[in-house]
Amino acid sequence: MINRQIRLASRPDGWVSADNFTLTDAPVTEPADGELLVRNLFMSVDPYMRGRMNDTKSYVPPFQIGEVLQAGVVGQVVESRNDSFAKGDFVSGMLGWENYSISDGTGLHQVAEGAVPLSYHLGILGMPGMTAWVGLMKTAAAKPGDTVFVSAASGAVGSIVGQLAKIHGCRVTGCAGSDEKIELCESDFGYDAMFNYKTSDNIAKSIASVCPDGIDVNFENVGGKIFEAALWNMRNFGRIALCGMISNYNDAHQEPGPRGMMLMIARRLTIKGFIVSDDRDACMEYVRKASGWLAEGRLNYRETVAEGIENAPQALLDVLQGKNVGKQIVRLAEPG
């Protein structure tokens, strides 16, 4: 069998391009003692992968030139020499951007088939959902009656943040980059008021129009001018959960920080970054709760699906350009 793989061909200088990736073929190898062979079914595509393409120190190590890229994967065990996994098991964890992966089982966990589609374990029951929960409920400590503002509200994380905030009695506002995304956020994702940042002449005023009494919780996914505009609309003792800065991921040089930082003092703001993997207990708490909310129909979920491993690089470019709605995944195969 042939294993098709996406490798890092070069490091981007600014925006990612197709030239930064290479598609290679390699033979599928046999698992050694303690290992298992996984046929990958669905691959995750996430903005943080852009940071790993740079040769910089961060909370996860950078990809190396010539290395197979890694991401969240749901797959099926086709051969196992590991006592914790059996042939036919469905598993999820960090594996390669490839059709088949060898693993020693570290970081893998079994997932059930049937209750929800398998791909949900990369999205609403996976890292994006956990990120939404940890950022909103633990980092920002959202409470009933809060006004919550979410940038990139229709994305994999933002689409879940809005619904979780609504479940917990918050007023939910946000911004997105198209009228279609705004309509979806308001109809499916629980948002009370939205605006299109691409057509806004003054983002700070647009935020004020949807948050006339100010913002208690800003769930920040974008950074840049949207973060700065939100800062000026924060209420006293407001909390800002820094989840991502997608507007800066492709900058060749670091941009200056937001203006108005004196507001942190005047309005006694709390600004805190977080990494979802730091709070494993909260992640498991979320999965238990979200499984129930899904079964009750209280959570909606959208995916943008690319077909075939050869289309994975373009899927990442689409995410960085905001073309996806909900969670971006790549479908490689159907369960056997």
In tens, the pLDDT along 49-103 reads 999 999 988 888 999 999 999 999 999 999 999 999 999 999 999 999 999 999 9
In tens, the pLDDT along 231-271 reads 999 999 999 999 999 887 777 677 777 888 899 999 999 99
The rounded distance, in Å, linking the Cα atoms of 243 and 69 is 22
Same domain, 319 and 256: no
Looking at residue 256, what is its pLDDT?
Answer: 72
Residue 263 structural domain: 127-277
Would you call 249 helix, strand, or coil by DSSP? coil
Q: Can you read off the two tokens belonging to residue 25? A: 């073929």
Same domain, 141 and 203: yes
Domain assignment of residue 270, yes or no:
yes
Same domain, 132 and 118: no
Same domain, 99 and 162: no
Same domain, 271 and 175: yes
In tens, the pLDDT along 183-209 reads 999 999 999 999 999 999 999 999 999
CATH, residue 46:
3.90.180.10
Same domain, 133 and 117: no
Element holding 303 (H helix, E strand): strand 303-307
Same domain, 312 and 234: no
* Residue 50 Rama label (left phi>0; alpha psi -120 to 50; beta): alpha
Domain assignment of residue 287, yes or no:
no
The rounded distance, in Å, linking the Cα atoms of 148 and 140 is 10
Q: What is the mean pLDDT of residues 121-125?
A: 98
Domain assignment of residue 296, yes or no:
no
The rounded distance, in Å, linking the Cα atoms of 119 and 117 is 5
Would you call 34 helix, strand, or coil by DSSP? coil
Same domain, 244 and 318: no
In tens, the pLDDT along 251-262 reads 767 777 788 889
Looking at residue 115, what is its pLDDT?
Answer: 86
CB atoms inside a 10 Å sphere around CB 200: 17
The rounded distance, in Å, linking the Cα atoms of 43 and 45 is 7
Same domain, 205 and 181: yes
Q: Which of 11-15, 158-162, 194-198 has the lowest mean pLDDT?
A: 11-15
Return mean pLDDT, the chain: 96
The rounded distance, in Å, linking the Cα atoms of 329 and 336 is 19
Domain assignment of residue 213, yes or no:
yes
Report CA torsion sign: 198, 305, 86, 67. negative
Looking at residue 252, what is its pLDDT?
Answer: 67
Domain assignment of residue 148, yes or no:
yes
Q: What is the mean pLDDT of residues 288-308?
A: 97
CA 254 to centroid of chain Cα atoms:
22
Q: How many independent structural domains does the chain possess? A: 2
For residues 282 and 8, the answer to whether their CB atoms sit within 8 Å is: no
CATH, residue 150:
3.40.50.720
Same domain, 141 and 251: yes
Same domain, 99 and 190: no
Domain assignment of residue 289, yes or no:
no
Domain assignment of residue 284, yes or no:
no
Same domain, 87 and 131: no
Domain assignment of residue 293, yes or no:
no
What residue type is 125 in one-letter code?
A: L
> With 80 as the cut, is the pLDDT of residue 300 above it?
yes
pLDDT band of 329, cuts 50, 70, 90: very high
